[in-house]
A and B are shown apart, each in its own frame.
Chain A
Amino acid sequence: MAHESQITPGPMSRHSHGGIRIRALKAAFPLTVPICMGFLFLGASYGMLMGTKGFSFVWPMCMSAFIFAGSMEFVTVNLLLSAFNPLAAFLLALMVNARHLFYGLSMLGKFKGLGWKRPYLIYGMCDETFAINSSARIPQDVDRGWFYLWVTLFNQAYWVSGATIGGLIGSHLQFNTDGLDFVLTALFLVIFLDQWLGGKHRERLSAVIGVLASVACLAIFGADDFMIPSLIAMLVLFMVLRPYLDTLKSGSQSDTDGNTIDHTEVR
Protein backbone atom coordinates (compact mmCIF):
# COMPACT_ATOMS: atom_id res chain seq x y z
CA MET A 1 0.00 0.00 0.00
CA ALA A 2 2.81 2.41 0.85
CA HIS A 3 4.44 1.40 -2.40
CA GLU A 4 1.35 2.38 -4.37
CA SER A 5 0.89 5.76 -2.69
CA GLN A 6 4.45 6.74 -3.55
CA ILE A 7 4.03 5.90 -7.21
CA THR A 8 0.59 7.14 -8.20
CA PRO A 9 0.57 10.78 -7.08
CA GLY A 10 4.06 11.42 -8.46
CA PRO A 11 3.68 11.35 -12.26
CA MET A 12 0.07 12.52 -12.16
CA SER A 13 0.69 15.59 -10.04
CA ARG A 14 3.21 16.76 -12.63
CA HIS A 15 0.53 16.68 -15.33
CA SER A 16 -2.27 18.51 -13.58
CA HIS A 17 -3.17 18.80 -9.95
CA GLY A 18 -6.82 19.51 -10.75
CA GLY A 19 -7.08 16.26 -12.71
CA ILE A 20 -6.36 14.22 -9.60
CA ARG A 21 -9.04 15.98 -7.62
CA ILE A 22 -11.70 15.69 -10.33
CA ARG A 23 -10.94 12.02 -10.93
CA ALA A 24 -11.21 11.27 -7.21
CA LEU A 25 -14.40 13.32 -6.97
CA LYS A 26 -15.98 11.34 -9.80
CA ALA A 27 -15.07 8.08 -8.07
CA ALA A 28 -16.22 9.23 -4.63
CA PHE A 29 -19.45 11.13 -5.29
CA PRO A 30 -21.68 8.24 -6.51
CA LEU A 31 -20.89 6.30 -3.32
CA THR A 32 -22.14 9.19 -1.19
CA VAL A 33 -25.52 9.60 -2.95
CA PRO A 34 -27.43 7.24 -0.62
CA ILE A 35 -25.80 8.98 2.34
CA CYS A 36 -26.98 12.31 0.92
CA MET A 37 -30.58 11.09 1.06
CA GLY A 38 -30.20 9.60 4.51
CA PHE A 39 -28.30 12.53 6.00
CA LEU A 40 -30.51 15.27 4.59
CA PHE A 41 -33.49 13.43 6.03
CA LEU A 42 -32.01 12.45 9.40
CA GLY A 43 -30.17 15.75 9.75
CA ALA A 44 -33.41 17.62 9.04
CA SER A 45 -35.26 15.49 11.62
CA TYR A 46 -32.59 16.34 14.15
CA GLY A 47 -32.72 20.05 13.28
CA MET A 48 -36.51 20.04 13.52
CA LEU A 49 -36.35 18.27 16.86
CA MET A 50 -34.15 21.05 18.21
CA GLY A 51 -36.46 23.62 16.63
CA THR A 52 -39.48 22.18 18.41
CA LYS A 53 -37.55 22.29 21.71
CA GLY A 54 -37.03 26.02 21.22
CA PHE A 55 -33.44 26.14 19.93
CA SER A 56 -32.38 28.52 17.15
CA PHE A 57 -31.03 26.88 13.96
CA VAL A 58 -27.54 28.00 15.02
CA TRP A 59 -27.50 25.19 17.60
CA PRO A 60 -28.12 22.24 15.24
CA MET A 61 -25.85 23.90 12.65
CA CYS A 62 -22.89 24.20 15.03
CA MET A 63 -23.51 20.90 16.79
CA SER A 64 -23.71 18.98 13.51
CA ALA A 65 -20.49 20.60 12.30
CA PHE A 66 -18.45 20.28 15.51
CA ILE A 67 -19.72 17.06 17.10
CA PHE A 68 -20.52 15.37 13.76
CA ALA A 69 -21.74 12.11 15.30
CA GLY A 70 -25.46 11.62 14.67
CA SER A 71 -26.52 9.59 17.68
CA MET A 72 -24.44 11.72 20.06
CA GLU A 73 -26.12 14.90 18.78
CA PHE A 74 -29.55 13.49 19.57
CA VAL A 75 -28.28 12.58 23.05
CA THR A 76 -26.84 16.08 23.50
CA VAL A 77 -30.28 17.64 22.95
CA ASN A 78 -31.38 15.92 26.14
CA LEU A 79 -28.21 16.98 27.94
CA LEU A 80 -28.93 20.62 27.04
CA LEU A 81 -32.42 20.28 28.48
CA SER A 82 -31.25 18.89 31.84
CA ALA A 83 -28.99 20.21 34.60
CA PHE A 84 -25.49 21.49 33.67
CA ASN A 85 -23.00 18.64 34.13
CA PRO A 86 -20.01 18.86 31.76
CA LEU A 87 -18.14 15.89 33.25
CA ALA A 88 -21.11 13.56 32.74
CA ALA A 89 -21.52 14.93 29.21
CA PHE A 90 -17.85 14.21 28.45
CA LEU A 91 -18.00 10.65 29.81
CA LEU A 92 -21.22 9.99 27.93
CA ALA A 93 -19.59 11.19 24.69
CA LEU A 94 -16.69 8.77 25.26
CA MET A 95 -19.03 5.84 25.87
CA VAL A 96 -21.47 6.51 23.04
CA ASN A 97 -18.59 6.97 20.61
CA ALA A 98 -16.32 4.16 21.81
CA ARG A 99 -16.77 2.38 18.47
CA HIS A 100 -14.65 5.14 16.85
CA LEU A 101 -11.60 3.59 18.55
CA PHE A 102 -12.09 0.52 16.38
CA TYR A 103 -12.56 2.64 13.26
CA GLY A 104 -9.23 4.29 14.00
CA LEU A 105 -7.45 0.96 14.43
CA SER A 106 -8.92 -0.16 11.11
CA MET A 107 -7.74 2.95 9.27
CA LEU A 108 -4.21 3.31 10.74
CA GLY A 109 -2.68 1.81 7.60
CA LYS A 110 -5.05 3.35 5.06
CA PHE A 111 -4.54 6.92 6.32
CA LYS A 112 -0.76 6.56 6.37
CA GLY A 113 1.15 9.18 4.39
CA LEU A 114 -1.82 11.39 3.57
CA GLY A 115 -0.28 14.55 5.03
CA TRP A 116 -2.57 17.53 5.68
CA LYS A 117 -5.67 15.55 4.72
CA ARG A 118 -5.17 13.06 7.53
CA PRO A 119 -6.37 15.15 10.53
CA TYR A 120 -9.57 16.08 8.74
CA LEU A 121 -10.18 12.49 7.62
CA ILE A 122 -9.90 11.39 11.25
CA TYR A 123 -12.06 14.28 12.51
CA GLY A 124 -14.82 13.57 9.97
CA MET A 125 -14.90 9.78 10.34
CA CYS A 126 -18.56 9.13 11.13
CA ASP A 127 -20.13 5.65 10.76
CA GLU A 128 -21.12 6.14 7.13
CA THR A 129 -17.82 7.70 6.08
CA PHE A 130 -15.92 4.90 7.79
CA ALA A 131 -18.12 2.28 6.13
CA ILE A 132 -17.41 3.73 2.66
CA ASN A 133 -13.72 4.51 3.14
CA SER A 134 -12.83 1.22 4.81
CA SER A 135 -14.57 -0.92 2.20
CA ALA A 136 -14.14 1.03 -1.06
CA ARG A 137 -12.14 -0.59 -3.83
CA ILE A 138 -10.39 2.53 -5.06
CA PRO A 139 -9.32 2.23 -8.72
CA GLN A 140 -5.56 2.29 -9.36
CA ASP A 141 -5.67 5.63 -11.21
CA VAL A 142 -7.55 7.42 -8.43
CA ASP A 143 -5.68 9.20 -5.65
CA ARG A 144 -6.48 7.56 -2.32
CA GLY A 145 -6.16 10.71 -0.20
CA TRP A 146 -8.44 12.80 -2.39
CA PHE A 147 -10.98 9.97 -2.63
CA TYR A 148 -11.19 9.72 1.18
CA LEU A 149 -11.30 13.51 1.47
CA TRP A 150 -14.24 13.89 -0.92
CA VAL A 151 -16.24 11.13 0.76
CA THR A 152 -15.66 12.73 4.17
CA LEU A 153 -16.36 16.27 2.99
CA PHE A 154 -19.52 15.39 1.04
CA ASN A 155 -20.97 13.42 3.94
CA GLN A 156 -20.30 16.18 6.44
CA ALA A 157 -21.79 18.76 4.06
CA TYR A 158 -24.97 16.67 3.72
CA TRP A 159 -25.33 16.29 7.47
CA VAL A 160 -24.70 19.95 8.36
CA SER A 161 -27.03 21.12 5.54
CA GLY A 162 -29.76 18.75 6.70
CA ALA A 163 -29.47 19.82 10.33
CA THR A 164 -29.44 23.52 9.43
CA ILE A 165 -32.41 23.24 7.08
CA GLY A 166 -34.29 21.24 9.73
CA GLY A 167 -33.51 23.88 12.33
CA LEU A 168 -34.81 26.62 10.02
CA ILE A 169 -37.98 24.69 9.19
CA GLY A 170 -38.64 23.79 12.81
CA SER A 171 -41.98 22.01 12.90
CA HIS A 172 -43.69 24.04 10.19
CA LEU A 173 -43.61 21.37 7.53
CA GLN A 174 -45.39 18.02 7.51
CA PHE A 175 -44.70 15.36 4.90
CA ASN A 176 -44.88 11.61 4.93
CA THR A 177 -41.31 10.40 5.06
CA ASP A 178 -42.02 7.34 7.23
CA GLY A 179 -39.36 4.75 6.61
CA LEU A 180 -36.91 6.99 4.74
CA ASP A 181 -34.36 6.53 7.50
CA PHE A 182 -34.08 2.91 6.33
CA VAL A 183 -31.74 4.21 3.62
CA LEU A 184 -28.84 4.13 6.10
CA THR A 185 -29.71 0.59 7.24
CA ALA A 186 -29.73 -0.40 3.56
CA LEU A 187 -26.34 1.29 3.08
CA PHE A 188 -24.73 -0.67 5.92
CA LEU A 189 -26.31 -3.92 4.71
CA VAL A 190 -25.08 -3.40 1.13
CA ILE A 191 -21.54 -2.62 2.31
CA PHE A 192 -21.72 -5.73 4.48
CA LEU A 193 -22.79 -7.80 1.44
CA ASP A 194 -20.01 -6.30 -0.70
CA GLN A 195 -17.43 -7.22 1.93
CA TRP A 196 -18.95 -10.69 2.24
CA LEU A 197 -19.03 -11.39 -1.50
CA GLY A 198 -15.52 -10.01 -1.99
CA GLY A 199 -14.04 -11.70 1.07
CA LYS A 200 -12.49 -15.08 1.80
CA HIS A 201 -12.67 -17.25 4.93
CA ARG A 202 -10.93 -14.79 7.20
CA GLU A 203 -13.04 -11.79 6.13
CA ARG A 204 -16.28 -13.75 6.33
CA LEU A 205 -15.45 -15.19 9.74
CA SER A 206 -14.66 -11.65 10.97
CA ALA A 207 -18.02 -10.45 9.65
CA VAL A 208 -19.81 -13.33 11.36
CA ILE A 209 -18.07 -12.52 14.65
CA GLY A 210 -19.23 -8.91 14.35
CA VAL A 211 -22.84 -9.89 13.72
CA LEU A 212 -23.04 -12.66 16.33
CA ALA A 213 -21.31 -10.67 19.07
CA SER A 214 -23.62 -7.69 18.56
CA VAL A 215 -26.82 -9.75 18.20
CA ALA A 216 -25.98 -11.64 21.40
CA CYS A 217 -25.22 -8.41 23.28
CA LEU A 218 -28.37 -6.78 21.87
CA ALA A 219 -30.44 -9.69 23.22
CA ILE A 220 -28.75 -9.54 26.63
CA PHE A 221 -28.28 -5.79 27.23
CA GLY A 222 -31.03 -4.23 25.10
CA ALA A 223 -30.96 -1.61 22.34
CA ASP A 224 -29.65 1.26 24.50
CA ASP A 225 -26.69 -0.46 26.15
CA PHE A 226 -25.34 -3.09 23.77
CA MET A 227 -22.62 -1.12 21.99
CA ILE A 228 -19.83 -1.27 24.61
CA PRO A 229 -20.46 -4.95 25.51
CA SER A 230 -20.43 -5.78 21.77
CA LEU A 231 -17.06 -4.05 21.27
CA ILE A 232 -15.58 -5.90 24.26
CA ALA A 233 -17.03 -9.24 23.13
CA MET A 234 -15.58 -8.74 19.64
CA LEU A 235 -12.17 -7.84 21.00
CA VAL A 236 -12.15 -10.95 23.23
CA LEU A 237 -13.27 -13.20 20.38
CA PHE A 238 -10.66 -11.80 18.01
CA MET A 239 -7.91 -12.31 20.58
CA VAL A 240 -9.07 -15.86 21.32
CA LEU A 241 -9.31 -16.70 17.60
CA ARG A 242 -6.09 -14.91 16.70
CA PRO A 243 -4.01 -18.08 16.21
CA TYR A 244 -6.60 -19.26 13.68
CA LEU A 245 -7.38 -15.95 11.93
CA ASP A 246 -3.80 -14.72 11.85
CA THR A 247 -2.41 -18.02 10.55
CA LEU A 248 -4.99 -17.96 7.79
CA LYS A 249 -3.62 -14.63 6.67
CA SER A 250 0.04 -15.59 6.64
CA GLY A 251 -0.90 -18.90 4.99
CA SER A 252 -2.70 -17.24 2.12
CA GLN A 253 0.15 -14.79 1.72
CA SER A 254 2.72 -17.52 1.31
CA ASP A 255 0.82 -19.65 -1.20
CA THR A 256 -0.59 -16.87 -3.40
CA ASP A 257 1.72 -14.00 -2.73
CA GLY A 258 0.88 -11.85 -5.75
CA ASN A 259 -2.84 -12.29 -5.29
CA THR A 260 -2.85 -11.15 -1.71
CA ILE A 261 -0.88 -8.03 -2.46
CA ASP A 262 -3.26 -7.10 -5.28
CA HIS A 263 -6.16 -7.63 -2.95
CA THR A 264 -4.92 -5.26 -0.26
CA GLU A 265 -3.73 -2.63 -2.69
CA VAL A 266 -7.10 -2.22 -4.36
CA ARG A 267 -8.81 -1.52 -1.05
Chain B
Amino acid sequence: MTMAIWQGVITVAVVAFGTILTRFLPFLVFPESKEPPRVIEYLGAVLPYAMTGLLVVYALRNTPILTGSHGIPELIACVVIVLLHWWKRNMLLSIAAGTIVYMLLVQLVF
Protein backbone atom coordinates (compact mmCIF):
# COMPACT_ATOMS: atom_id res chain seq x y z
CA MET B 1 0.00 0.00 0.00
CA THR B 2 1.41 3.39 -0.99
CA MET B 3 -0.74 5.44 1.36
CA ALA B 4 -0.49 5.58 5.16
CA ILE B 5 -2.70 3.28 7.25
CA TRP B 6 -4.96 6.15 8.38
CA GLN B 7 -5.43 7.21 4.75
CA GLY B 8 -6.37 3.64 3.86
CA VAL B 9 -8.85 3.49 6.74
CA ILE B 10 -10.43 6.78 5.64
CA THR B 11 -10.66 5.56 2.03
CA VAL B 12 -12.45 2.38 3.14
CA ALA B 13 -14.74 4.37 5.46
CA VAL B 14 -15.65 6.82 2.72
CA VAL B 15 -16.40 4.00 0.25
CA ALA B 16 -18.49 2.22 2.89
CA PHE B 17 -20.39 5.44 3.59
CA GLY B 18 -21.06 6.03 -0.12
CA THR B 19 -22.33 2.47 -0.51
CA ILE B 20 -24.55 2.72 2.58
CA LEU B 21 -25.93 6.00 1.28
CA THR B 22 -27.02 4.41 -2.02
CA ARG B 23 -28.81 1.68 -0.06
CA PHE B 24 -30.57 3.95 2.45
CA LEU B 25 -31.42 6.96 0.28
CA PRO B 26 -34.76 5.66 -1.11
CA PHE B 27 -35.86 4.73 2.44
CA LEU B 28 -34.85 8.17 3.77
CA VAL B 29 -36.62 10.06 0.96
CA PHE B 30 -39.78 7.95 1.29
CA PRO B 31 -40.08 7.12 5.01
CA GLU B 32 -42.41 4.39 6.32
CA SER B 33 -44.72 6.87 7.95
CA LYS B 34 -45.65 8.53 4.67
CA GLU B 35 -47.36 7.01 1.65
CA PRO B 36 -44.91 7.27 -1.31
CA PRO B 37 -46.14 9.05 -4.47
CA ARG B 38 -48.09 6.88 -6.90
CA VAL B 39 -45.24 6.96 -9.45
CA ILE B 40 -42.81 5.49 -6.89
CA GLU B 41 -45.22 2.65 -6.17
CA TYR B 42 -45.41 2.02 -9.90
CA LEU B 43 -41.61 1.92 -10.21
CA GLY B 44 -41.39 -0.33 -7.17
CA ALA B 45 -43.73 -2.76 -8.89
CA VAL B 46 -41.95 -2.92 -12.26
CA LEU B 47 -38.29 -2.38 -11.30
CA PRO B 48 -37.57 -5.76 -9.61
CA TYR B 49 -38.19 -7.55 -12.91
CA ALA B 50 -36.06 -5.13 -14.89
CA MET B 51 -33.26 -5.20 -12.30
CA THR B 52 -32.99 -9.00 -12.46
CA GLY B 53 -32.67 -8.65 -16.23
CA LEU B 54 -29.94 -6.08 -15.71
CA LEU B 55 -28.14 -8.38 -13.25
CA VAL B 56 -28.13 -11.21 -15.80
CA VAL B 57 -26.59 -8.91 -18.40
CA TYR B 58 -24.19 -7.51 -15.76
CA ALA B 59 -23.01 -11.01 -14.80
CA LEU B 60 -22.35 -11.82 -18.46
CA ARG B 61 -20.88 -8.42 -19.37
CA ASN B 62 -17.30 -9.64 -19.82
CA THR B 63 -18.21 -12.56 -22.10
CA PRO B 64 -15.86 -12.45 -25.11
CA ILE B 65 -18.14 -12.56 -28.16
CA LEU B 66 -15.73 -11.61 -30.91
CA THR B 67 -12.59 -13.22 -29.47
CA GLY B 68 -11.48 -16.39 -27.66
CA SER B 69 -14.29 -18.86 -27.05
CA HIS B 70 -16.86 -16.46 -28.61
CA GLY B 71 -19.07 -16.88 -25.56
CA ILE B 72 -20.01 -20.42 -26.58
CA PRO B 73 -19.52 -21.92 -23.05
CA GLU B 74 -21.73 -19.18 -21.59
CA LEU B 75 -24.37 -19.74 -24.28
CA ILE B 76 -24.44 -23.53 -23.79
CA ALA B 77 -24.59 -23.23 -19.99
CA CYS B 78 -27.41 -20.66 -20.20
CA VAL B 79 -29.40 -22.85 -22.61
CA VAL B 80 -28.97 -25.82 -20.23
CA ILE B 81 -30.25 -23.68 -17.34
CA VAL B 82 -33.24 -22.37 -19.28
CA LEU B 83 -34.33 -25.83 -20.52
CA LEU B 84 -33.73 -27.54 -17.19
CA HIS B 85 -35.51 -24.83 -15.23
CA TRP B 86 -38.43 -24.74 -17.64
CA TRP B 87 -38.73 -28.51 -17.24
CA LYS B 88 -38.08 -29.10 -13.51
CA ARG B 89 -38.40 -25.62 -11.91
CA ASN B 90 -35.84 -26.64 -9.30
CA MET B 91 -33.62 -23.67 -8.46
CA LEU B 92 -30.69 -25.56 -6.93
CA LEU B 93 -30.71 -28.22 -9.66
CA SER B 94 -30.70 -25.61 -12.46
CA ILE B 95 -27.90 -23.58 -10.87
CA ALA B 96 -25.74 -26.62 -10.06
CA ALA B 97 -26.17 -28.18 -13.50
CA GLY B 98 -25.48 -24.91 -15.33
CA THR B 99 -22.37 -24.20 -13.26
CA ILE B 100 -20.97 -27.73 -13.65
CA VAL B 101 -21.58 -27.67 -17.42
CA TYR B 102 -19.84 -24.30 -17.62
CA MET B 103 -16.85 -25.44 -15.52
CA LEU B 104 -16.41 -28.60 -17.62
CA LEU B 105 -16.61 -26.55 -20.83
CA VAL B 106 -14.03 -23.93 -19.82
CA GLN B 107 -11.67 -26.43 -18.18
CA LEU B 108 -11.81 -29.32 -20.65
CA VAL B 109 -13.19 -28.13 -24.00
CA PHE B 110 -12.39 -24.47 -24.60
B86's partner among A33, A83, A186, A197 (CB-CB below 8 A) is A197
Asked whether A206 and B54 contact (CB < 8 A) given A104-B26, A176-B107, A223-B61, the answer is no
Q: How large is the interface on B (under 10, 10 to 19, 20 to 34, 35 or more residues)?
A: 35 or more
- A98's nearest neighbour on chain B, judged by CB, is B22
Judge whether A80 and B32 touch: CB under 8 Å: no
Chain B 55-71 near chain A by CB (<8 Å), digits 1 or 0: 11111111000000000
Judge whether A127 and B55 touch: CB under 8 Å: yes
Judge whether B98 and A186 touch: CB under 8 Å: yes
Q: Is residue A94 contacting chain B, with contact meaning CB distance below 8 A?
A: yes
Judge whether B46 and A208 touch: CB under 8 Å: no
- Count A/B pairs, Cβ under 8 Å: 263
- B15's nearest neighbour on chain A, judged by CB, is A93
Asked whether A103 and B89 contact (CB < 8 A) given A72-B15, A81-B1, A90-B15, the answer is no
Judge whether B53 and A211 touch: CB under 8 Å: yes
Judge whether A111 and B62 touch: CB under 8 Å: no
Interface residues of A in 129-176 (CB under 8 A from B): 130-131, 134-135, 176
Asked whether A193 and B82 contact (CB < 8 A) given A179-B99, A179-B105, the answer is yes
Cα distance A1–B11 when bound, in Å? 41
Judge whether B42 and A103 touch: CB under 8 Å: no
Judge whether B52 and A72 touch: CB under 8 Å: no
B95's partner among A90, A183, A199 (CB-CB below 8 A) is A183
Chain A 177-192 near chain B by CB (<8 Å), digits 1 or 0: 0111011111111111
Judge whether B57 and A191 touch: CB under 8 Å: no
A160 to chain B, nearest CB (A): 13
Judge whether A130 and B51 touch: CB under 8 Å: yes
Judge whether B102 and A76 touch: CB under 8 Å: no
- Residues in chain A near residue B60, CB distance under 8 A: 185
Question: How many positions in chain A have a CB within 8 Å of any CB in the partner chain?
Answer: 100
Cα distance A141–B104 when bound, in Å? 41
B38 to chain A, nearest CB (A): 8
- Residues in chain A near residue B25, CB distance under 8 A: 101, 104
Judge whether A106 and B92 touch: CB under 8 Å: no
Judge whether A93 and B14 touch: CB under 8 Å: yes
Judge whether A207 and B15 touch: CB under 8 Å: no
Q: Is residue A112 contacting chain B, with contact meaning CB distance below 8 A?
A: yes
Q: Is residue A63 contacting chain B, with contact meaning CB distance below 8 A?
A: yes
Judge whether A31 and B91 touch: CB under 8 Å: yes
Interchain residue pairs A-B with the least CB separation, the first 4: A93-B18, A210-B53, A104-B26, A210-B50
11 A–B pairs (Cβ distance < 8 Å), ordered by A:
A59-B12, A67-B19, A89-B11, A97-B19, A102-B43, A131-B52, A180-B103, A185-B74, A211-B57, A238-B46, A245-B46
Residues of A in contact with B (beta carbons under 8 Å apart): 30-31, 33-34, 37, 53-55, 59, 62-63, 66-69, 72, 76, 79-84, 86, 89-94, 97-109, 111-113, 118, 122-123, 125, 127, 130-131, 134-135, 176, 178-180, 182-195, 197, 199, 202-204, 206-211, 213-215, 218, 223, 226-227, 230-231, 234-235, 238, 242, 245-246, 249
